[in-house]
Amino acid sequence: MAEIAARPFPFAFRPETVALVVIDMQRDFAEPGGFGESLGNDISRITPIVPAVKALIDGFRAAGLPVIHTMECHRPDLSDCPPAKRERGNPALRIGDEGPMGRILVAGEPGTAILPDLAPLPGEIVIEKPGKGAFYATPLGEKLQQLGIRHLVFAGVTTEVCVQTTMREANDRGYECLLAEDATESYFPEFKEATLAMIRAQGAIVGWTATAEAVLEAIADA
Tell me the catalytic residues: 24, 129, 162
Count Cβ atoms below 10 Å from residue 194 Cβ, excluding itself: 15
Cα–Cα distance, 182 to 52 (Å, whole number):
7
Whether the Cβ atoms of residue 120 and residue 114 lie closer than 8 Å to each other: yes
End-to-end CA distance of the chain, in Å?
9
- One-letter amino acid at 6 equals A
Sign of CA dihedral 139, 141, 144, 146: negative
- One-letter amino acid at 169 equals E
Cα–Cα distance, 55 to 58 (Å, whole number):
5
Helices (H), the chain: 27-30, 35-38, 50-62, 83-87, 140-147, 164-172, 189-204, 212-221
